[in-house]
Structure 1
Amino acid sequence: MIGYTILISLISSGTSYLFMKYKTLDNIILNLTDFTQEDIQRMKGWFRWKF
């Protein structure tokens, strides 16, 4: 149980750091992957349609 709590806290800290550094999810995806802006727009459209 303690290991699970530590894992969750590390993920939370990492996510907070990424949002502080890159400001938006789009910027995080653009900087950490080889996706382009067009790929992100396509994914957003797919998620809007799906949900």
Structure 2
Amino acid sequence: MTFEALMNWTILVALVSSMTSYLFMKYRTVENIILNLTDFTEDDIQKLKGLIRWKF
């Protein structure tokens, strides 16, 4: 891997990490992030939780 490719990956990881940290500081939970950034409702999230519990 070249130095430039390594730098690109490093910058990408830093950006994703920063955005994730910001979202968790602002909304506190994954559920709140989903509710605020998508058009999901509480019922949709409960259904998803049920599906996840059923599969695992």
Q: Same fold (TM over 0.5)?
A: yes
Alignment of 1:6-45 (within 5 A): 6-45=11-50
> Based on CA coordinates, which of the two structures has the bigger radius of gyration?
2
Q: Which runs of 4+ in 1 moved over 2 A?
A: none
Residue-pair matches, total: 51
Residue deviations 1:2-46 (CA, integer Å, cap 9, x gap) = 101110110011000000000111110000000000000111111
Note the residue ranges of structure 2 that are not aligned, 5 or more in a row. Answer: 1-5
Note the residue ranges of structure 1 that are not aligned, 5 or more in a row. Answer: none
| Residue type of the alignment partner of 1:33 | T
TM-score (norm 1): 0.92
Q: CA deviation at 1:49?
A: 1.3
TM-score (norm 2): 0.85
